């Protein structure tokens, strides 16, 4: 059965789970700051299925701690902040000034860039996915946990054509990145089996 990570109860509940995982108090305080920062910037943003955006950020933390055993506070702070530059008006320099260079570097690795002059959105996205193949190990962990959160309930996405394209992109560009991470490799294998049906949800898309 596919393992699903929940964070709908909010940061206080997730924080208690991290306490049980023996995350140090000083590190929890650092995460408090990162969560507060992310919540302020993401404000009332929601995910495609309507849930508050912060749930996604907290799910990524839960994956890293509860499934992979990550305790590196910079990696966990980067997990909380991984979309703040891409999806809000926050600048990478704001992240660097507040949380340090290492966190900023990790956030930068998983931030899809704005298309450059003469480049389409699709070309920019393809370049981003290709660049991930050379990502440092810690940035790759954040990315794999990020995509896991995004696809673990892929069938709740309101647009069938997006479900299909996101499934195929994950299989082609993200699954190969799991080879050096046994837990992620197995989880994504289980996920492919569980969600393979979405690839044919929209037969018309196959001929486009």
> What is the dihedral angle through the alpha carbons of 149, 7, 21, 38, rounded to the nearest 10 degrees?
80
Alpha helices in 100-195 (DSSP H): 101-109, 121-131, 137-151, 160-169, 182-195
Plot region of 184 (φ>0 → left; ψ -120 to 50 → alpha; else → beta) = alpha
Residue 33 is a catalytic residue: no
Select which of 27, 66, 87, 155 is catalytic: 87
Residue 46, phi then psi, degrees to nearest 5: -130, 165
Task: Output the CA torsion sign for 47, 52, 58, 62.
Answer: negative
Task: Round to whole Å and give the CA distance between 76 and 66.
Answer: 12
- Residue of 175, 170, 194 whose CA lies nearest to 185: 175
Select which of 86, 93, 101, 193 is catalytic: 86
Residue 190 is a catalytic residue: no
- Residue of 140, 141, 200 whose CA lies nearest to 167: 200
User: What are the catalytic residues?
Assistant: 86-87
């Amino acid at each position: 059965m596919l393992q699903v990570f929940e964070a709908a109860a909010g940061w206080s509940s997730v924080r208690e789970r991290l306490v049980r995982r023996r995350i140090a108090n000083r590190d929890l305080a650092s995460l408090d700051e990162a969560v507060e920062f992310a919540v302020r910037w993401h404000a009332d943003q929601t995910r495609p299925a309507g849930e508050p955006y912060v749930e996604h950020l907290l799910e990524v933390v839960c994956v890293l701690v509860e499934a992979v055993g990550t305790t590196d506070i910079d990696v966990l702070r980067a997990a909380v902040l991984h979309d703040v530059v891409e999806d809000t008006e926050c600048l990478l320099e704001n992240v660097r000034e507040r949380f340090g260079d290492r966190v900023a570097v990790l956030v930068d690795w998983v931030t899809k860039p704005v298309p450059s002059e003469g480049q389409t959105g699709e070309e920019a996205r393809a370049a981003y996915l290709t660049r991930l193949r050379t990502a440092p190990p810690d940035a790759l962990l954040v990315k794999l946990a990020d995509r896991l959160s995004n696809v673990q309930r892929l069938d709740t996405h309101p647009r069938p054509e997006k479900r299909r394209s996101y499934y195929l992109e994950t299989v082609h560009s993200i699954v190969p990145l799991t080879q050096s991470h046994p837990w992620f490799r197995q989880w994504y294998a289980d996920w492919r089996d569980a969600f393979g049906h979405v690839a044919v949800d929209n037969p018309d898309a196959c001929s486009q």
